[in-house]
Structure 1
């Protein structure tokens, strides 16, 4: 009898754990924004496998500065698999694609409704008939495990509903040291959050910062974490960091459509973790610089992992343009980018192409950078990588010092719009050296050393470029505008 009771007890415990593993949480939109923020292009529902369907609120988000378009976004929390149903409400359906392609998500189309399963919390783009400008962004978050107590005096709590500063709507909330800012699911905050000369601040939750001047400013601060929130169409940067250290940015989602509306821009910041972010921006998604404005100092020790970057214009990743020419220059070093999906680059100006761009200017020395397991879907126009020492008269007051020791490992591109990548120094004293490639793959085929020049142009003042441990011959010749991806 005791044995039977023990077995039943274990069964009940396992059943409870299984129920928790299948948890699903949805968030209604505030009543006051239902008519102003809704996009009715799609009807989206989610459920636990075999459970009841739950309707989601489809938010409107603006994308693509070239010609701003209305796309859609939904969000929810879950653990364990969740089934998603998306009905296209306008026009017929010829095809549907769920990206990133690397996720390998299979779909079932029934009329104008597509069904698919997210095996774990994921961020995906659902695209009908190849349309990437009016697509649906689906954000499945992990279940929150450490919600703060709203009654805690060190917690600034924004519950479900709309919030904006009383004195100047749309301006800012200033966050003191030691505070936790919690933006609950179903909350919309119409303001930027400012961390200026503070320490030990947490910004977290599932809610939305809507159309602020900037999303979050971190200036001259330390030990600031930003996690879980969504930033929709700021007028300027999503996260603006200056001369700060020990920053953690996790699971944020961003859309921007204005000029200079970069995603995460960090000037003279060090010891930074960026993980599991989704950045769709009409300028650089992630930009890392030295000195700019009132921020000074070297840059080092970044880990950027497990993220999705979508640059409607400019670069998904941009490093090194701005720095300090007042003295001896600054160093940008020890940056790691790993397990990243790049879904778009659309940049007409060759000076600003490159999904992975290092453009060293303003006496910056950029060194010890690694890119590993980076998957690039087909884009409209751009380059896979661009490494240059420059003196850009529009932005610089001096040339960069150099680029050294850059490693690319397991980089892949699938598509047909690839311009040849570029590696180029400025002169003998401002050169590029020590660039290695391992496992570079184009359309499923690994690039061999003897055809590497088909995909990249190596300009003057470049030394020691290798592919799979073999030297690549320096060409000094400009390739064709489009790489010939079909030739042998």
Structure 2
């Protein structure tokens, strides 16, 4: 699959079961919103042995109106290389219109030239997002990485700012992409064996965990064996707000 000039989401499955994307090579995207693979309210699906370069999110698990009587569950992404020119690399959300999103695994993947959030869970709707694993993930940064920006007009001047994309970002919120009036939850999430490579030894990307309020928490989040240029680090800081609980660093 060589997708050139995709006008929107490139490979979308909605309300489906038993869908497998295997040995896909997706390149040539340059428009906003040209995601790679998106699963909306799907179960028992997989993406494996593939390469994606997209100008938005590369691989996403989501939920949306029209299919939201079904949950998103039992989805595995493994042995993939992703290159996000503008969006997130590996993501759950930000559309989460479902009762549950659970049993999601991102495993043995390489994330290159990251521009926005790398490993992300964006909870903008009502779903209970839980039983999620990101494991054996390699993330590369360069000193030329720029902060994500949106050009809103042809006349807008582009003034890039050098910055690493957040390595991990979990957030519960209500915003422009939200459809539900009630908020959701994020819990029981494991990040294990995450290897970060940077050109500069002094710089390390952000890790952010943010709940919405006391009724909609990010909790029971484990960060285990995070390494930086081959060395395990235990003293990195987690940027979190007051609506988080039981954040463990191992």
- Looking at structure 1, the residues matched to 119 and 25 of structure 2 have their Cα atoms a distance apart, in angstroms, of 20
Q: Does 1:385 align with 2:148?
A: no
Alpha-carbon displacement from aligned partner over 1:325-356 (angstroms, at most 9, x marks no partner): xxxx5100001111000012123xxxxxx201
Alpha-carbon displacement from aligned partner over 1:362-391 (angstroms, at most 9, x marks no partner): 111110000111000115131101011111
- Looking at structure 1, the residues matched to 182 and 80 of structure 2 have their Cα atoms a distance apart, in angstroms, of 31
- Looking at structure 2, the residues matched to 344 and 263 of structure 1 have their Cα atoms a distance apart, in angstroms, of 16
Contact 2:114 2:140 in 1 (8 A): no
Matches within 5 A, 1:414-425: 414-415=197-198, 416=200, 418-425=204-211
Q: TM-score, normalised by structure 1?
A: 0.44
Alpha-carbon displacement from aligned partner over 1:94-152 (angstroms, at most 9, x marks no partner): xxxxxxxxxxxxxxxxxxxxxxxxxxxxxxxxxxxxxxxxxxxxxxxxxxxxxxxxxxx
Q: Does 1:361 align with 2:147?
A: no
The structure showing larger relative contact order (alpha-carbon pairs under 8 Å, at least 6 residues apart) is: 2
> 1:418, CA displacement in angstroms?
4.3
Match of 2:35 among 238, 262, 267: 262
> 1:467, CA displacement in angstroms?
1.4
> 1:233, CA displacement in angstroms?
3.1
- Using a 3 Å threshold, how does the CA distance of structure 1 residues 307 and 437 change in structure 2: closer, same or farther? same
Q: Tell me what 2:112 maps to.
A: 343
Alpha-carbon displacement from aligned partner over 1:422-476 (angstroms, at most 9, x marks no partner): 001111100011111211001222111xx221xx2122111111111xxxxxxxx
- Looking at structure 2, the residues matched to 425 and 372 of structure 1 have their Cα atoms a distance apart, in angstroms, of 23
Give the aligned CA root-mean-square deviation in angstroms. 1.5
Matches within 5 A, 1:177-216: none
Q: TM-score, normalised by structure 2?
A: 0.85
Higher helix share: 1
Structure 2: unaligned runs, 5 residues or longer: 146-163
Alpha-carbon displacement from aligned partner over 1:191-243 (angstroms, at most 9, x marks no partner): xxxxxxxxxxxxxxxxxxxxxxxxxxxxxxxxxxxxxx333332222211111
Q: Tell me what 2:213 maps to.
A: 427
- Looking at structure 2, the residues matched to 364 and 287 of structure 1 have their Cα atoms a distance apart, in angstroms, of 15
Contact 1:320 1:364 in 2 (8 A): no
Q: Which has the larger radius of gyration?
A: 1
Structure 1: unaligned runs, 5 residues or longer: 1-228, 348-353, 469-488
